Structure 1
Amino acid sequence: MSIPEIVQSTLGDEQVAATVPLGGEDALYVTPTRTLIYRGDGLLSDESVVEYSHDAERIEVTEGRRKATVALDYGIDGVEEFTVPAKRLHDALHPVLAGVLNGADVTDANEQVIQTYQFSELTLVVTSARVVKHVGEAVWDEDFEQYHFEDVTRLDVEEGTVSSQIIIEADGRPQRVKTPSDRTREVRERVERALLSYHDADSYAEFERSAAPDDADDEASDDAGDAADVDGPFGGGVDPIQANPPELDDDGQVVEADSDAGVDDASADALGDTANADAETATDAGDASADVETGSGDSVVADDPVGDAASSGTESADAVDVDDATSEDERVGTGGDGALATAGRESAAESREEAADGESSGFAGSGFEPAEENMGDDVEERLAALTEAVERQNELLERQQRTIERLVDRLSRGQ
């Protein structure tokens, strides 16, 4: 198709990149910087050329039954429109959109726009180096996304009944492009061909192999980093602290402890535990004795009050004698036996304090210190005293038990 002279004069030094016939003598000519609309001679008009710059910030399309209007928004410079036959809209929009993308520096000068798709509010442009996606009422504006083939590592499809999604993995992140299911295969093949051509690959399998080494290197470096974290300056774990650390001298050397000192330590610990246990037993026994003396066992006395209760045969006399027995027994209970219980408690408390002092002083250095030589004798003396106190408490309890049994027996016979 020859270019009219009026168009050639308007072009100047520019070359026509695309030509779209609009019917009759009318035609659309696209250059890298502008779009020219040529109208031929008619009954009501002469031939004319109108040019539209590609510096537009926004492209909008309005479709009618016979004609479609393309509006180029230049911001503060206003909006310019031109009409094309509705059946020629897609053919005319493709080169115009390519020129606007080039004018906005979205695509490079030598980059070829291969295909343009419009699905409702989605505009998808496939070029020789990238995929440009725009979603919105406008065909294109400055709010768009692009995925350069240099960053793409995978291409896949998630099929659906009505719509499907083309997955373009770029920079390690999957990007989804929703398309009608009946057009998904076509779009996928267009994108795949452009991707393989960009990477000089004959097949998608070859492209996968070429993209795999980078991923493998990244995984290997990640594994090495994890291993370095595990085997860092502190190794793979923390060694347990020894329960019995060795004793060190002033020069930091390990001092070997005498075996006899170790035996003395063990025997001292065992005797200390035994003393604590006996002290607790004596304390419990003293408490029990005090309860018996001040509680129901207050009626433990000699046989005379009980005999008086039996001879009188009246409940009032029994009550008086029992009260007298109680008062007398309280005096007895708070005498020698009470002092004995108190002495037992004091001895037990002293044993606990000394045992605690012995345990705390053993860790003054880095190791255990040997026990004192006279420690075993003191423990044995305290143990003997506590044993004697416990035996006296047991005898007292047995005597009180026998007295209570006799009292109960006589009271039951008096009734």
Structure 2
Amino acid sequence: MNIILSKSAKARKQRLFRVQTDLETALKSDKQLDRIWFWKNETLVLEYSTSYGVKYAFDINCTAQGYDLQIVGRGDPSRYAVRQRIGVISKAVKGHPNRLLESWPLDVNIRTLVLELVTGIHRAQSLMSVVQEHPDRYVPGYWWDQQSNFGDQIGPWLIEMITGRPAFNTIALPNAGHAVMTAGSIITGMNRPGMSVWGSGLIAPLDATTTQRLKSRPPLTIRAVRGELTRAELVENLGWDVPELFGDPALLLSAFYRPHELAPGELRPAVVPHYARRRLFEGHSERSDFDIIDVRKSPEVVVAQIANASAIASTSLHGLIIAQAYGVPWIRLRISDKHLVGQDFKFEDFYSTINRDQVAEVSLRQSDVSNADLREILNSASLPDSRYDVASLIRAFPSAEIPQLPGDYAPYGAQNGASHREFTTD
């Protein structure tokens, strides 16, 4: 353990220096503690790492208001692990990725402070140190879930419906090895090599930094990608072997999930705002002639709402994809003065799997959304002809890379009455 000593001129910094000394003694046998150091002379930092690749730190802050103990992950995967494992015993720190574990008044007794610091550190460390138990029947997956967004949950949902086994998210485990990557623009942030890509995409064209990073993280196999734009980037910039098989896995949902169907007279058009655009549409929430769908709800609910709409207008990519999958006419709402990350790349990637000439789009400025005639816009929705092959996409699912369990492997679509033969016979 490398101890970096620091001094402080003020009285409360001297007390924090005393805390450092006592913590060094109390934690000297802690093998996961990498080092202790000061940040700006008012935060004592304890750096930790786990056997499965997650790195995090405890921040002990000393301010005029008192002391507090916070935990923060080093990098996105580690921050995800902190939220997942420490969330139940901590509070979010507004504007920061840190989680607040405990706080004390400035006049707290040093002995009491150190005792409670060590207790809090050990409690959090125990949650961070244990590799999550998951039996062999779990399928390792890889999906983004830092936001409550139904589109990010479609991948694991499909894995579970196709295999009959639950999916286990490994995005926070950089050393986890093989996993199945499915729906979403997740290739861009791929954090390790050796995975199976099935219908995933990029968020934007590859820049030099991302290209260099991904070159060291080649996948085990690529079975399909979301669209032609993603394939071109991976082949031309990385030299990866990418088949000419295209389609977002969400396009397959109608083959596996049949939501309750409303009577034709009950169908209404609906608007699907991206979670980052939801506030723009709040002025339309009381409309009686169309619905506003909340993408933060479970995928089953959101998909059922889209499938039971007479038409869809969406700023969300997966709002459009689900509408396409269930044969619901749709139109893309583009907010012209507030671009999503990657701008139009992921949309054009999807459009390469349908008849681009039949795509309906309309652009609105943020200031125009509240007064826009969305009902009239919905009347312009269309259903483009598809160029993707559902059966080929299902056959491309990387089942060969998933450990098989005798007697515990459901055929494709068995949970929803679909026949495996329906997708595999010529």
TM-score category, normalised to shorter length = under 0.3
Determine which structure has greater relative contact order: mean sequence separation of CA pairs < 8 Å that are 6+ residues apart, divided by chain length. Answer: 2
Q: TM-score, normalised by structure 2?
A: 0.22
The answer to which structure has the higher helix fraction is 1
Q: TM-score, normalised by structure 1?
A: 0.23
